[in-house]
Amino acid sequence: MAKKDNGPDKSFWMVTFSDLLSLMLTFFVLLLSMSVMNQKHLKEISSSFQHGLGILGRGGPFGIWIPAKESVVPPRVPAAYRERMQKLDDNLRSQFQHEGPKVEIGTDPRSGNLEVTLSAEGMFASGSTHLSKKAQFVLRQIGGALQPVPGRLEISGHTDNLPIHGSGHKANNWALSLARAVNVAGFFAEDLGFSSQRLAVAGYGPSRPVADNGTAEGRADNRRITIELIKDRGGEGGSG
């Protein structure tokens, strides 16, 4: 005799209901555990989410948070050092004569470093790196004043933007500016006895103009040598 069919099983809802009860039980257990959790641990978890996942308003587009760097304010130049550079500035100004290369002396208002600018017109013949006698005279005065002062000398060569063609130091303006700076540094080291550890050279070519290259006067101003006395980080420096 065939078994009577009573229709589809209507007890399947109990499975869904039991799942719901399990989820609700889990949820209330979590609530209970969080209510008694140590406040310190809760803050640590919150902080880890902030810094790592970026879901609490501080994360980047990829869930990475990078703290902003603190702005570093350069230390102020000591008044004593600034006064010393000003006295050196005045001393050099009083020594130079009107003959020879044009000389400009100034003190950087921010760093306090002394900077001497010499026009290339009176120092070198056109396209040459050989120091003239007048240039050597002025460099001796500068070296005599700077030698006992602690600090490093950065000697930089600059040119106008008119192209040059040749080989060696005449290959381009960059090579010419560097060769001239090297010769000035060599004069300080070999003729005036400066330690090579105090000297640094650079050739900037036409990249740092101080005047308009569209005029003859401007190009003359851009052809120059600068000597900057840079204060040692530790406040001390060797002389000689």
DSSP the chain: -PPPP--S---THHHHHHHHHHHHHHHHHHHHHHHTS-HHHHHHHHHHHHHHT--SS---TTS---PPPPPPPPPPPPHHHHHHHHHHHHHHHHH--SSSS-EEEEE-TTT--EEEEEETTTTS-TT--PPPHHHHHHHHHHHHHHTTS-SEEEEEEE--S-----SGGGSSHHHHHHHHHHHHHHHHHHTT---GGGEEEEE-TTSS-SS-TTSHHHHHHHSEEEEEEEPPTTS-----
CATH number (domain holding residue 211): 3.30.1330.60
Domain that holds residue 36: 13-52
Q: Evaluate whether residue 74 is within a structural domain.
A: no
Q: Taking the complete model, does pTM exceed 0.75, yes or no?
A: no
Q: Evaluate whether residue 40 is within a structural domain.
A: yes
pLDDT tens-place string over residues 92-102 = 666 665 555 67
* Co-location of 33 and 92 in the same domain: no
* Co-location of 20 and 111 in the same domain: no
Q: Evaluate whether residue 150 is within a structural domain.
A: yes
Q: How many CB atoms lie within 10 A of CB 206?
A: 19
Q: Evaluate whether residue 2 is within a structural domain.
A: no
* Co-location of 189 and 100 in the same domain: yes
User: In this model, does residue 48 exceed pLDDT 50?
Assistant: no
Token digits for 231?
Answer: 């204060």
pLDDT at 74: 46
Token digits for 167?
Answer: 């080989």
User: In this model, does residue 58 exceed pLDDT 70?
Assistant: no
pLDDT at 4: 55
pLDDT at 182: 96
- Tell me how many domains the chain contains: 2
Q: What is the mean pLDDT of residues 73-83?
A: 59
Q: What is the CA radius of gyration of the chain?
A: 37
Calculate what percentage of the chain has a pLDDT beyond 70. Answer: 62
Q: Evaluate whether residue 238 is within a structural domain.
A: no
* Co-location of 94 and 140 in the same domain: yes
pLDDT tens-place string over residues 160-208 = 999 998 888 888 999 999 999 999 999 999 999 999 999 999 999 999 9
Q: Evaluate whether residue 72 is within a structural domain.
A: no
Q: Evaluate whether residue 67 is within a structural domain.
A: no
